């Protein structure tokens, strides 16, 4: 079975679409960054003075892709090449996923399903520079995940 977004081709073009969506919603101070060391993409913007920071893991997507498409001796590439392919696919897919997720959140806000704070609560930046989610995790405000 194909992993969602594994055949996405828009890549960084989706980043432009994210910026357009956010500007149309009234957001400002848009920026993005790739952290190659961490293997993540960061999108930041501001809405009515409230900074927001959305981080997505390319390594997480690559791991999911490798689970769906495991390397074997029959693979026409080395294991390293196969893992590199997973990261390449992830680097395109993550932008498309972020675009669609942000568009969904903005649509939920526009239609009154959620407030801005409700839609982006975990991604709101606190004065400390941490997101609400990072603060909640560091403070152990959330229950530990149950083990399978």
Chain centre to alpha carbon of residue 19: 14
Question: Could you report the per-residue pLDDT of 91-143, keeping only the tens digit for each?
Answer: 999 999 999 999 999 999 999 999 999 999 999 999 999 999 999 999 999 98
Q: In angstroms, rounded to a whole number, what is the distance separating the alpha carbons of residues 57 and 59? A: 5
Domain ranges in the chain are 12-138
Place of tokens 């791991």: 63
How much is the pTM? 0.90
Question: Could you report the per-residue pLDDT of 41-93, keeping only the tens digit for each?
Answer: 999 999 999 999 999 999 999 999 999 999 999 999 999 999 999 999 999 99
Question: Which pLDDT belongs to residue 110?
Answer: 96
Task: Kindly state the greatest CA–CA separation across the chain.
Answer: 54
Question: Which pLDDT belongs to residue 144?
Answer: 82
Residues 6 or more apart whose CB falls under 8 angstroms from that of 95 comprise: 8, 10, 11, 12, 13, 14, 15, 18, 41
- Report which secondary-structure segment, H or E, holds 74: none
């Amino acid at each position: 079975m194909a992993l969602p977004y594994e055949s996405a081709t828009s890549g960084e073009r989706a980043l432009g679409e994210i910026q357009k969506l956010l500007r149309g919603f009234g957001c400002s101070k848009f920026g993005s960054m790739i952290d190659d060391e961490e293997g993540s993409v960061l999108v930041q913007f501001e809405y009515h003075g409230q900074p927001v920071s959305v981080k997505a893991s390319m390594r997480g997507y690559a791991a999911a892709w490798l689970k769906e498409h495991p390397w074997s001796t029959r693979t026409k590439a080395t294991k390293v090449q196969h893992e590199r392919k997973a990261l390449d696919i992830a680097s395109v897919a993550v932008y498309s996923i972020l675009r669609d997720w942000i568009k969904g959140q903005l649509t939920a806000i526009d239609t009154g399903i959620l407030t801005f704070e409700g839609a982006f609560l975990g991604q709101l930046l606190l004065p400390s520079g941490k997101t609400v989610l990072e603060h909640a995790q560091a403070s152990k405000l959330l229950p530990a995940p149950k083990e399978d």
